């Protein structure tokens, strides 16, 4: 998988971040939105997206709660929810800001739960109890198997991956 060493993920695209140091570069804890707030803003009949985002000088929205929500769903329900509700909300965010803002899903357990298949760069979500051993085809559901596009976020050369970054979901 390709790597991104610059800070583009802090200003554009969608990211799934599990490294606390990386998260702290873009927001304070009080600026993080709940998944519920994010989904409510994505509803067309609601007030919509704010003019100024809460983090990183108005360029970034950090959302927590995706991994906990996935754990509450059976794998088939999780696939439907990711592919419909979450993807639709991501697309709404991208459209709302013309691709000029960053959406970051804070997933503190993501490093152990998002698995990248090295040979194909396919990304899978590993389910937890009571569905341990099953997985969701995370990449196919969110970016339609465009596996050449996601990149591992690295804070510096030689560091472990801090998350995954995708410039634009289509």
Parallel, antiparallel or unpaired: strands 122-126 and 114-117: antiparallel
Q: Rounded distance, CA 16 to CA 36, Å? A: 17
Q: How many domains in the chain?
A: 1
pLDDT given for residue 47 in this prediction: 74
Residues facing 122 on adjacent strands? 117
The domain of 138 spans 3-166
Q: Which two tokens stand for residue 51?
A: 């003019």
Q: What is the CA radius of gyration of the chain?
A: 15
Tell me how far apart the alpha carbons of residues 92 and 46 are, in angstroms, rounded to a whole number: 12
Using the predicted structure, report yes or no on whether residue 6 has a pLDDT greater than 80. Answer: yes
Cα(91)–Cα(137) distance, integer angstroms: 19
Q: pLDDT band at 45, cuts 50/70/90? A: confident
Read off the pLDDT of residues 51-64 as tens digits, 9 standing for 90 and up.
999 999 999 999 99
In degrees and rounded to multiples of 5, residue 29 shows phi and psi of: -60, -35
- 104-124: pLDDT as tens digits: 999 999 999 999 998 888 999
- Cα 74 to chain centroid distance, Å, stands at 20
- pTM greater than 0.85: yes
Give the contacts of 79 (CB within 8 A, at least 6 positions apart).
136, 137, 141
Nearest-angstrom CA–CA distance, 21 and 13: 19
Reference 14, options 146, 142, 156, 161; nearest CA is: 142
């Amino acid at each position: 998988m390709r790597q991104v060493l610059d800070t583009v993920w802090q200003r554009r695209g969608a990211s799934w971040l599990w490294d606390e140091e990386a998260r702290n570069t873009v927001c304070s804890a009080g600026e993080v939105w709940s998944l519920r707030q994010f989904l409510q803003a994505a509803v067309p009949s609601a007030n919509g997206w704010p003019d100024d985002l809460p983090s990183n000088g108005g360029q970034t929205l950090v959302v927590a709660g995706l991994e906990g929500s996935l754990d509450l769903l059976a794998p088939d329900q999780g696939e439907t929810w990711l592919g419909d509700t979450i993807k639709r909300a991501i697309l709404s965010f991208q459209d709302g800001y013309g691709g000029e803002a960053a959406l970051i899903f804070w997933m503190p357990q993501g490093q152990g739960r998002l698995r990248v298949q090295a040979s194909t760069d396919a990304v899978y979500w590993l389910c937890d109890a009571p569905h341990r051993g099953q997985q969701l085809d995370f990449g196919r559901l969110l970016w339609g198997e465009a596996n050449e596009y996601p990149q591992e976020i690295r804070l510096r050369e030689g560091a472990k991956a801090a998350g995954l970054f995708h410039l634009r979901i289509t």
